[in-house]
A and B are shown apart, each in its own frame.
Chain A
């Protein structure tokens, strides 16, 4: 449950990271997250769509409908330049957060054991 909440707060960052690699549609993004996390991140895939909407609204990604040779049309999302910059900022913030939490979990390195 806690993992799901943590993921929910970071789903936009994950989407940006996936789209950095290649433009994808919603289903493709869900599969890419699953693949890259080795299926460790479990989430309701519908939550991708509100996140995509928000990212599009902020001008970080753009979308267009594409019709493949086989199968129905798909709405494909791609990362914009502004989205690339935002992704870098979010990665940095995430690493700072992880480092800070690591410091707390691992004890204070400045305090020498007696």
Chain B
């Protein structure tokens, strides 16, 4: 019975740490969060352990530890502020590159599908790939720099892609597109934008985790 109670207490304390880190994570970009997450969690667990030695229950000890560490949003914002003054995109070149490649590929795919469906006549070819790669660099940079929720970041990049590319395609195909074609084209390229954002976010998370593992080893 006592063991079960202890386990429940520990589970609750760990849940508090996860909740704390989740709030910190909303203020940091994925790379920065991957770097800081374990460090902050370690600090909380050590503080809590010290409180437990003084006789506190795990949840009570964790609550005291969280109070001692400070408000998660403020800490995250302070860390990201310290980070924002440096050019950190250089250290995240891999996610940016992966985002750019994903963008080029998904845009070429969308282009081919739309031509195949007869939405417009001429596929962009290399021009589409080049434009996709360039937009991918910009989209990935937005994803890595913006301090927004992931779905909001993806929506932001999708908004960047849809109208920009629609304009390009429209001018390449002699002017006006029907509303149906307009909507389909906008949707297809917005999806390419979402794919770019997701690729950049996922690779950033992986890059952060890999770097940490390598350093540990």
Contact = CB atoms under 8 A, between A and B. Distances in A.
A and B, one complex?
yes
Given A45-B47, A53-B83, A65 B216 contact: yes
B40 A49 contact: yes
Given A26-B43, A27-B47, A45 B68 contact: yes
Interface of B: 36, 38-40, 42-43, 45-47, 68-72, 74-75, 78-79, 81-83, 85-86, 212, 215-216
Contacts of A74: 39, 42
Given A46-B69, A47-B70, A49-B40, A57 B86 contact: yes
Interface string A46-86: 11011101100100000011010000111100000000000
Chain A binding surface, main DSSP class: helix
Nearest to B79: A50
A49 B216 contact: no
B132 to A, nearest CB: 33
B68 A49 contact: no
Interface residues of A, number: 21
A46 B40 contact: yes
A95 to B, nearest CB: 27
Given A26-B43, A47-B70, A47-B75, 17 more contacts: A25-B39, A26-B39, A27-B43, A44-B69, A44-B75, A45-B68, A46-B72, A49-B40, A50-B75, A51-B82, A53-B83, A54-B82, A57-B82, A65-B216, A72-B45, A73-B38, A74-B42
